[in-house]
């Protein structure tokens, strides 16, 4: 059997998710090829698949990732009808060096030179102060511990989480109103809402007149994307 040594344009990599962005990608942002609306911020503490250890681990340093199409992780620049990248000549570094048949280079890049929000939201932009404040007020909780103890969570713990997720939401709504942010911009400036991160652990979230209520899961899962 011949060993694969080139991209077969199957689209699997792009469907698994857009790339993380690195300092080498800054010119793409400066030239306007990539805009904030195309990013999602993965905040410190969120649980993701660590390609090096091949396990689900909390993120040590926040990073930016090209967001997915609708609710999927399929890269927003992937055109399924043509099995191709719509920004191929300007694709980010991680896409350029990715070789699915030989992952040494991409694993060598993992976790290095990552771009964060503060690298690209310039001083003087009022949203810079706002995202710093949001990070201080609503850091990502210890999701790994929560996922381990989720089935034993007391009512008090769930109530405490509910208070935090509702305050996080209220903060976002105020910022959305004040700065007229789209959903995409919100996901860049503030990352995913805390209630969404908890639902990935198995909690169910229900909207009520007094805010979002969380429920114990029947069958908790131990991982989140
Ligand atoms: S930027 Fe292009 S090459 Fe990279 S994951 Fe998206 S569609 Fe694929």
Express each pLDDT in 81-139 by its tens digit: 988 999 999 999 999 999 988 898 899 998 899 999 999 999 999 999 999 999 999 99
Separation of alpha carbons 198 and 24, rounded Å: 33
Going from the Cα of 61 to the center of ligand 1, the distance in angstroms, rounded, reads 23
pLDDT digits (tens, 9 = 90+) for 156-191: 888 999 999 999 999 999 999 999 999 999 999 999
77 touches ligand 1 (CB under 6 Å):
yes
191 touches ligand 1 (CB under 6 Å):
no
What local confidence, expressed as pLDDT, does residue 32 receive?
A: 94
Averaged pLDDT of the chain: 91
**Please, are residues 91 and 79 in contact by the beta-carbon 8 Å criterion?**
no
Separation of alpha carbons 92 and 27, rounded Å: 10
Going from the Cα of 75 to the center of ligand 1, the distance in angstroms, rounded, reads 6
For every residue of 62-108, DSSP letters joined together read -EEEEPBSTTS-SBTTEETTTTEETTGGG--HHHHH--TT--HHHHH
76 touches ligand 1 (CB under 6 Å):
no
19 touches ligand 1 (CB under 6 Å):
yes
Residue 220: pLDDT over 50? no
Separation of alpha carbons 118 and 216, rounded Å: 36
What residue ranges do the domains of the chain occupy? 12-118, 122-215
Closest residue CA from atom 8 of ligand 1: 14
Residue 77: pLDDT over 90? yes
What local confidence, expressed as pLDDT, does residue 118 receive?
A: 97
For residues 17-38, average pLDDT = 95
């Amino acid at each position: 059997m011949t060993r694969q040594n080139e991209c077969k344009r199957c689209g699997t990599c792009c469907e698994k998710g857009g790339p993380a962005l690195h300092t080498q990608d800054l010119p793409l942002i400066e030239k306007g090829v990539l805009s904030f609306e195309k990013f999602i911020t993965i905040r410190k503490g969120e649980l993701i698949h660590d390609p090096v250890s091949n396990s689900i681990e909390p993120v040590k340093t926040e990073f930016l990732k090209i967001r997915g199409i609708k609710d999927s992780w399929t890269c927003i620049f992937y055109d399924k009808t043509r099995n191709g990248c719509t920004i191929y000549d300007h694709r980010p570094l991680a896409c350029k060096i990715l070789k699915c048949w030989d992952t040494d280079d991409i694993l060598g890049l993992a976790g290095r030179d990552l771009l964060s929000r503060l690298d690209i939201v310039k001083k003087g932009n009022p949203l810079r102060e706002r995202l710093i404040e949001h990070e201080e007020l609503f850091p990502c909780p210890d999701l790994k511990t929560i996922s381990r103890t989720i089935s034993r969570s007391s009512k008090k713990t769930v109530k405490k989480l509910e208070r935090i997720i509702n305050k996080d939401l209220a903060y976002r709504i105020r910022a959305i109103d004040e700065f007229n942010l789209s959903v995409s911009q919100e996901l860049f400036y503030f990352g995913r809402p805390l209630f969404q991160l908890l639902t990935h652990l198995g909690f169910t979230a229900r909207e009520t007149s007094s805010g979002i209520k969380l429920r114990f899961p029947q069958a908790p899962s131990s991982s989140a994307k």
